[in-house]
Structure 1
Amino acid sequence: MSDCVYDIIGVGIGPFNLGLAALLKPVAEINALFLEQKPQFHWHPGLLMEGTTIQVPFLADLVTMADPSSRFSFLSYLQAQSRLYQFYFWEQFHIPRREYNHYCQWVAQQLPSCHFGQRVETISRQENSHCFEVQTRDMASGTISTYRCQNLVLGVGSVPRVPACLQDVLSENVFHSAEFLHRRDRTRQSKSITVIGSGQSAAEVFYQLLQEQETYGYRLEWHTRSQGFFPMEYSKLGLEHFSPDYIHYFHGLSLERRERVLSEQNLLYKGISFDTIADIYNLLYERSVADSSPNVRLLSSVEVKEVEIIDDIYRLEYRHLQQDRRFAHETDCIILATGYHHQIPSCLADIHSLIQWHQGRYVVNLDYRLELTQEIPNQIFVQNGELHTHGVGAPDLGLGAHRNSVIINTITGKTVYPVNSRNVFQQFGVAI
């Protein structure tokens, strides 16, 4: 065990903790270490399809919204890649998903604080030294290492959500959309493919399959329990909900009111882009020319209730939510674009009692600190695990730099990165 006590250890290196590492690089008084079990940075590798973009402008990179002059900005990356003029002529605000992933890899390679191939096994708190002890396992050699720190930042991300009735049939033929590119050959061998879900990932997977349908000859279906295949809210005033101002407003609501508000905001962050909907419709239209009929069915307001396997065919039992009718559908390949959820990492088991919980979820302060059950000099921060306390912007890349600014300012006790109090034109709530 090293004698070094880090100011911060970040658990997990996704875009948010990577952004924190980048913003900390010029902050000399903070000694930080970030740990990730993957061998290198890789952001949703199963969905890095050609033609797909991130759903926020390129300014939502790791650092720009906190420090536009940072050498880790996306524009700095383009300069390093000799691509500034190509980007300038391209005239697009939303960058390819594959390029965003490569940009993050470029940043990670320049940060000695980021250690990959290290799985955090346990975290405990040492009363005598007043610090956290983090034990890791090297994924290649199996070597166990122990590190100590004053503060933790949890950035473990989310895991694929699978409906309960389908969890027991996951296989090469039934998988989450997060695995789509890894299972592409399997889909091309199918006779019938069913995509379940209605968000951006579902639409992108469906469109990719639709483009190849005539080549491989499968039947293609797209089902969702949502009431339709609706676009994401992308008006300028709607986008203001992804701002520090809205975070302050939302965090001030009661727990019960937050739940109610979130349940009414799905299309702020769960819909489909207008461009993707147009691409799908345009292709379906072209395939219908000259009395043709695409071998496709889109069906909304349907919920899977049961699944049965008969001779390598999956028989899905559905209920139509509006008609309250049951019906069956058979397919030999199911792709679950059913979203993601946050799982409490197992490495927190030894400090579980130190953390304040409400209905199995973190209680998160406005500055992203977890509420603890004891008064201690150490702090635990969370990245993208605070949807229920901070609102729809929690998973949004555009707010990552803001959250990291708040975390850095809180730990240092001073304003390292200014945080503006007024960022939007509309007012959320009224003064009391």
Structure 2
Amino acid sequence: MAKQIMDVIGVGIGPFNLGLAALLTKTDCRYLFFDKKSRFEWHPGMLLEGTTLQVPFMADAVTMVDPTSPFSFLNYLHEHKRLYPFYFFEKFNIPRTEYNHYCQWIAGQLTQLQFGCEVENIEQTEDGDFCVTVLHHAEQERKTYYSKHIVMGIGTRPHVPERFYTALGDRIFHSSQYKNKREFSLEAGSITVIGSGQSAGEIFYDLLLKQPDHGYKLNWFTRSKGFYPMEYSKLGLEHFSPDYTRYFYSLPKEKKKTVLKNQSLLYKGISFQTIADIYELLYERSVGNMEPKIHLQALTELLSIEDWNDHCFLSLYQHEEEASMLLESDIVILATGYHPYFPDCLKGIRHLISFDEEGELDITEDYRVKLNNDSPNHLFVQNGELHTHGVGAPDLGLGAYRNAIIVNRLAGKEVYKTYKHNTFQRFGI
């Protein structure tokens, strides 16, 4: 019996590969997608009540390239009898919990998605096809699959600076674990949040809301210059467009590094709403010259943490004053972001993968990782191309566009239209 060869296998089922699977339903491509999680879950540790997406609902899995798709968010609302409530809701930014439920709704309709299945290894056969070894956790059985192409959609993973690794535990943890550890943390006498992004802001606000019922001291430190808002002007948002992505890709490598360093507030700041919510609550708590039990301080870097006798001892450094301080805190929450990584399952083809001089993946404009052979089969990447394609790489609003490029390449024809001019401004000569 001849082995069955898929047209494409997807590794990881986050929002981007989920969108790819949904868009592939309009093609004749044979595909399977695997994820080691038991079901679709999008940042479960940060699915807090009151938090929203930072992009409009149109940044769903399909709408930006196929607004007539049955997998659109509006059709999700229709199927769940929520169109009128959403109409009266009158907001573009939807609850984060609803976005997660929307994605679960899509996943439940696509039989080609297999959860509880961990891709352990990928190799390339003599014919140029990819051989994929998958551990099916429920059966504890390894199976082998073959595919012409691979799409890596594993995204990024929580980042903790290496010097803090040994301190991690119940009392010191990354923000991605916050919801699971929240009840335990609320019983502490003092809590410290480290970081300057949206996650840090949301966690601080959530803890601030609950502070009167628990009485803990609440601290927030960042090494950034301030608790600054994310750039959200309409012309600033045009950087998250296919036009800017094409412009950025055409820049020399060294220029790209400089540009990215100067664009952090396009994707690393705090929303205006979160900052306003925090300030307004602090203002109300200070009525009658009351002093809220909080400490906010920027320009202050966490140098080290020691966990000793159920207490955390933090060494902090204020950069402008060039002064150090010690702080005791029962709980430390590290909102230190997410970084891309090289997955273990690619070790079988690592020798074929092209890296740049910085050790990062060498990626073509249509999201293919360059391979050191003449095979017509390709390895695509989702949300691993910040260094080559710019700030839009992790943005949900560009996910459907990137998937349209990949689908058109896989199908060998234009299945989805993409447009050259999407912004009012021009980014180059």
Q: Distance in 2 between matches of 1:321 and 1:353?
A: 43
2:269 counterpart of 1:271: yes
Give the counterpart letter for 2:346 in structure 1. L
Matches within 5 A, 1:200-219: 200-219=198-217
- 1:409 is aligned to 408
Identity in percent: 53
**Is this contact kept in 2: 1:2–1:146, CA < 8 A?**
no
Question: 1:278, CA displacement in angstroms?
Answer: 0.4
Give the counterpart letter for 1:365 in structure 2. T
Q: Distance in 1 between matches of 2:35 and 2:166?
A: 29
Q: Distance in 2 between matches of 1:130 and 1:277?
A: 52
Residues 275-301 of structure 1, C-alpha deviations (whole Å, 9 max, x = no match)? 110000000000000121000000101
- 2:398 is aligned to 399
| More off after superposition, 159-168 vs 70-79 | 159-168
Q: Distance in 1 between matches of 2:133 and 2:147?
A: 11
Q: Distance in 2 between matches of 1:158 and 1:119?
A: 17
Counterpart secondary structure, 2:369? coil
Counterpart secondary structure, 1:357? coil
Counterpart secondary structure, 1:414? coil
Q: Distance in 2 between matches of 1:233 and 1:48?
A: 23
- 1:86 is aligned to 85
Q: Distance in 2 between matches of 1:19 and 1:221?
A: 39
**Is this contact kept in 2: 1:49–1:181, CA < 8 A?**
yes
Q: Distance in 2 between matches of 1:307 and 1:336?
A: 11
- 2:17 is aligned to 17
- 1:32 is aligned to 31
- 1:383 is aligned to 382
- 2:140 is aligned to 142
Match of 1:196 among 190, 194, 205: 194
Matches within 5 A, 1:274-293: 274-293=272-291
| More off after superposition, 41-50 vs 298-307 | 298-307
Counterpart secondary structure, 1:309? strand
Q: Distance in 2 between matches of 1:375 and 1:254?
A: 25
Q: Distance in 1 between matches of 2:291 and 2:321?
A: 26
1:304 and 1:369, CA in 2 relative to 1: closer, same or farther beyond 3 A? same
- 1:373 is aligned to 372
Matches within 5 A, 1:322-361: 322-358=320-356, 359-361=358-360
Give the counterpart letter for 2:234 in structure 1. K
Q: Distance in 2 between matches of 1:188 and 1:318?
A: 23
Q: Distance in 2 between matches of 1:140 and 1:189?
A: 37
Q: TM-score, normalised by structure 1?
A: 0.98
Residues 105-126 of structure 1, C-alpha deviations (whole Å, 9 max, x = no match)? 0000001111110000000001
Q: CA RMSD in A?
A: 1.0
1:137 and 1:2, CA in 2 relative to 1: closer, same or farther beyond 3 A? farther
Give the counterpart letter for 1:157 in structure 2. G
Q: Distance in 2 between matches of 1:97 and 1:306?
A: 33
Give the counterpart letter for 2:218 in structure 1. L
Q: Distance in 2 between matches of 1:301 and 1:18?
A: 39
Give the counterpart letter for 1:80 in structure 2. E
Matches within 5 A, 1:230-245: 230-245=228-243
Give the counterpart letter for 1:42 in structure 2. E
Question: 1:306, CA displacement in angstroms?
Answer: 1.8
Question: 1:392, CA displacement in angstroms?
Answer: 0.2
2:252 counterpart of 1:254: yes
- 2:73 is aligned to 74
Residues 373-432 of structure 1, C-alpha deviations (whole Å, 9 max, x = no match)? 1111110100000000000000000000000000011122211101100000000011xx
Q: Distance in 1 between matches of 2:186 and 2:264?
A: 32
- 1:171 is aligned to 169
Counterpart secondary structure, 2:7? strand
Question: 1:249, CA displacement in angstroms?
Answer: 0.5
**Is this contact kept in 2: 1:2–1:147, CA < 8 A?**
no
Question: 1:138, CA displacement in angstroms?
Answer: 1.1
Residues 316-361 of structure 1, C-alpha deviations (whole Å, 9 max, x = no match)? 1111122211111110100011100011100000100111012221
- 2:111 is aligned to 112
Q: Distance in 1 between matches of 2:162 and 2:133?
A: 33
**Is this contact kept in 2: 1:243–1:423, CA < 8 A?**
yes
Q: Distance in 2 between matches of 1:229 and 1:139?
A: 43
Q: Distance in 1 between matches of 2:181 and 2:271?
A: 24
Q: Distance in 1 between matches of 2:215 and 2:325?
A: 25
1:18 and 1:2, CA in 2 relative to 1: closer, same or farther beyond 3 A? farther
Give the counterpart letter for 2:230 in structure 1. M
Residues 17-41 of structure 1, C-alpha deviations (whole Å, 9 max, x = no match)? 00000000121x2111100000100
Q: Distance in 2 between matches of 1:152 and 1:46?
A: 29
Question: 1:153, CA displacement in angstroms?
Answer: 0.3
- 1:121 is aligned to 120
- 1:302 is aligned to 300
Q: Which runs of 4+ in 1 moved over 3 A?
A: none
Question: 1:2, CA displacement in angstroms?
Answer: 8.0
